A and B are shown apart, each in its own frame.
Chain A
Amino acid sequence: MTTAGLRRPAPGVPPPTTDGLPRFAPSGLRLVRLYLISRRVPLALGLLIGLGALLWAALHWHWAVVGGAAARQFIPLTIESGTAAVIAVTTHGPFGEPERAAGRWLPWLRLGEAVAITAAAFGLLTAGATAGVLAGGSLAMLRNVGGMVGIGLLSAGVLGGAFGWPGPLAYLLIAEGALAHRSTTPWIWPTRLPHDRGGAICAGLVILAGLMLIAVRGPRESGRESGPST
């Protein structure tokens, strides 16, 4: 294979497109589409739909662990942390260095993808919560999911995108322990009331930090740095 047959386009002439549409919009959309596919977002959305359905089933059939607040919230919190774990894993990119070198839109793509899939997850879980009474309601769920996604993104930044999942699931255990022992620090926001400002601020700060880390620096890359995913 040689470059003999290739011709450089004349200056000022846009490169030909396959579908005849203006250049920017389709290429931008194509970039977004390819980015989402490379992050396995369609599969992640399928899993999030499954988690929403699971929440629906749990509330519809009254799956509940007998006991105090920790026991009662165990199943909803597990589903919320599972959601955050799936979102965290979508940050993993397969291309590494070439993508970083060539993609100047990469920070925006990372940010947009994380925000969009979190919003989609919240919507799906809210739909699932219509089957019954969720402890704390949608507001508490928004706070919990948001904060846990933040932990997942931070975890992806530290351990690698593919290893973003232990963060939210470890937080689940910490939250359960705090609920069982009536600890009420705002950093363990599931222990706080839905309208509590402290819990909301802490969860907000965590997701903000997670989004910033993922947007600016991206997840830890395997091969570039040592980690569990190497």
Chain B
Amino acid sequence: MTAATATPVRHRTPRTVGVVPLGFVRLMRMELRRNAMPWVLPLIAALFWFDSYRPSVGASPLYGLRTFWNLGQGHTILDFGPFVAGVAAWMGSRDGRRGLADLVTATARPRWAGQLATWAATAIWAVAAYLVFVGVMFAMYARQGVGGSPPWWYVADGAVGVAAFSAFGFAIGVYWPSRFAAPLATFGGFLAMAMSSQTGFGAADGWALILPTNSNGSFNGNPQADSGIFYHWLPDLPIARIVFLGGIALFMLGLTGLPARAGGPWLRRVAALLAVAGVALAGTGVRLAAGARVAAHGVIISALHDAADDAPLAYTPVCGPAAGVTVCLNPAYRRWLPDVTGALAPVLAEVAGLPGAPARAIQVPAAYIDPGSGGGPPQKITLGGQPPVLRLSLGQLDMPGPCGFCDRQVGAAGFANQLRLLFARAFVATGSGLGNPAQQAVQAALLQDAGIPFAAQPRLAQLAGNIPGPKPGPATGPVYAAAGRLATLPAAARHAWLAAHLAALRTGRLPLRELP
């Protein structure tokens, strides 16, 4: 065996190692090219269009309402996540299914590093596709003139959610290299989302706010709020969710590095550390959500809240005249300015010149909770101040046009009648209730003069109050009799009577018998 000793010793040329090893970049490129995710993306795109985009265009063109279904109730994650989990399980189980596990374990690179490259390629495809699909959806909203600003933090939530689903599925695939890993991971994803909905739809506060399908207090569709229009989308809850979902992703990835074949002892220690960090992060997210409280502009988490987010959004109002009164709205509501001025003009003309008649009308933000309502339903229209200003909280109303989950579209006439009724109530100061008989009679007379016949008024009151129940009775009785007498007075006489009795009427001290 002298030949061996005669052979010159060859020294290995040291490799150039950058911040990211070149070999890993090559591996990533291969994994990206050979990934199964692109094959499933057309299906996800079709589902995304069907389940996330298509139903949303039936809602009013305001970001808060358009995205309530797809981002608020988590349908974008539902359309993506389970399928991403399935494909990730398929990719994670690849070596095991093909009987290559021993072969790849024997390569120079630790097994876990190779697996992480496979997972990263899957997650990159999935998250990139998610962002592209949501971006296209927002571009289409922008083309349709949707008002307000998009809830970007919830998009980030979704992206992290998709990454977490990919890590979940990948871990299943690594531990169970079977043909059934992919369907089971997808099924598990759907079941997790179902459980999230089961708990999330009902829980208005506490830890359940962390669930990605929970829209309570942060993304309400009904009563509607004005996030992204008058005030910022609060990032507190989305950040807590990112922490939670990121923790789940880390935990799952850490699990994949625990088996003996994953790598050396130090690498497995790193994996264990990652898993523990993931559990800690997810727990932190849940704890943050448990301490959340619903405020006027959404969910606030004290540990995460930035006071700068409470500042109102600056805007230049759009204004129009209604019977000599200037009506100004947020530009997000620009398309409805003619509806609002047209609806208010007849009632404003009736009360023009009377004490307490509005000098102008402005739009005010709708809130998640109204601290001034004393626990009762928030006021949709109020009148007050000196000079009197009519304050319209249009965010609480179904605006004319498509109406999401309503039975049918909201007609311009129905909207106008609702606005007139709310104005009449605000004018005679009955708050959100019907008022006393004299106040009811004056309201009825004002509405009759504005073109809403007595016969239609009980039904209108029921609709405006959103009161379920049987069809209301006919417009008869002493209230409507008094209203009839007031309505038949000449306009000048009615005006003079109102001028003389308005103060007593508003305080509720005027009895019905004192109506003319």
Contact = CB atoms under 8 A, between A and B. Distances in A.
Contacts of B178: 40, 43
Given A71-B201, A74-B194, A177-B55, A40 B179 contact: yes
Contacts of B191: 54, 75, 78, 82
Contacts of A81: 187, 190
Contact of A65 (B58, B83, B182, B194): B194
A65 B192 CA distance: 12
Given A170-B43, A228-B39, A65 B201 contact: yes
Interface in B151-195: 178-180, 182-184, 186-187, 190-191, 194-195
Interface in A158-207: 159, 161-163, 165-166, 169-170, 172-174, 176-177, 180-181
Interface string B179-221: 1101110110011001101100110000000000000000000
A47 B185 CA distance: 13
A49 to B, nearest CB: 13
Given A166-B186, A177-B55, A228 B194 contact: no
B109 to A, nearest CB: 24
Interface in A82-103: 82, 85-86, 88-89, 92
Nearest to A94: B179
Contacts, number: 104
A6 to B, nearest CB: 30
Contacts of A173: 47, 50-51, 78-79
B278 interface: no
B201 A162 contact: no
Contact of A181 (B43, B55, B183, B197): B55
A66 B190 CA distance: 16
A163 B179 CA distance: 9
Given A75-B194, A166-B40, A85 B47 contact: no
Contact of B180 (A47, A54, A64, A227): A47
B82 A169 contact: yes
Contacts of A166: 40, 43, 83, 86, 186
Contacts of B202: 66
B182 A174 contact: no
Contacts of B43: 166, 170
Nearest to B182: A165
A37 to B, nearest CB: 13
A22 B162 CA distance: 57
B36 interface: yes
A92 B179 contact: yes
A44 interface: yes
Contact of B51 (A74, A89, A176, A229): A176
B190 A172 contact: yes
A206 to B, nearest CB: 17
Chain B contact patch, size range? 20 to 34
A63 interface: yes
Interface in B54-68: 54-55, 58
B201 A169 contact: no
B180 A63 contact: no
Interface string B24-51: 0000000000001001100100110011
Contacts of A75: 191, 194, 198
A67 interface: yes
B186 A85 contact: yes
B180 A40 contact: yes
A228 B86 CA distance: 12
B51 A67 contact: no
Contacts of B79: 173
Nearest to A86: B183
B198 A227 contact: no
A7 B449 CA distance: 110
Nearest to B203: A66
A228 to B, nearest CB: 4
Nearest to A78: B190
Interface in B381-440: none
Contacts of A64: 198
Given A65-B198, A74-B194, A47 B36 contact: no
Contact of B186 (A74, A165, A181): A165
A154 B312 CA distance: 54
Given A74-B194, A78-B194, A169-B187, A162 B55 contact: no
Contacts of B182: 89, 162-163, 165
Nearest to B69: A180
B100 to A, nearest CB: 15
Contacts of A228: 36, 39-40, 87, 90
B39 A227 contact: yes
Contacts of B198: 63-66, 75
15 contacts: A40-B179, A65-B198, A71-B201, A78-B194, A86-B180, A89-B179, A165-B186, A166-B86, A169-B82, A169-B83, A170-B43, A172-B190, A174-B51, A177-B50, A227-B39
Interface of A: 40, 43-44, 47, 54, 63-67, 71, 74-75, 78, 81-82, 85-86, 88-89, 92, 159, 161-163, 165-166, 169-170, 172-174, 176-177, 180-181, 227-229
Given A78-B190, A86-B180, 8 more contacts: A43-B178, A47-B180, A65-B197, A74-B194, A74-B197, A88-B183, A162-B90, A166-B43
Interface of B: 36, 39-40, 43, 46-47, 50-51, 54-55, 58, 78-79, 82-83, 86-87, 90, 178-180, 182-184, 186-187, 190-191, 194-195, 197-198, 201-202
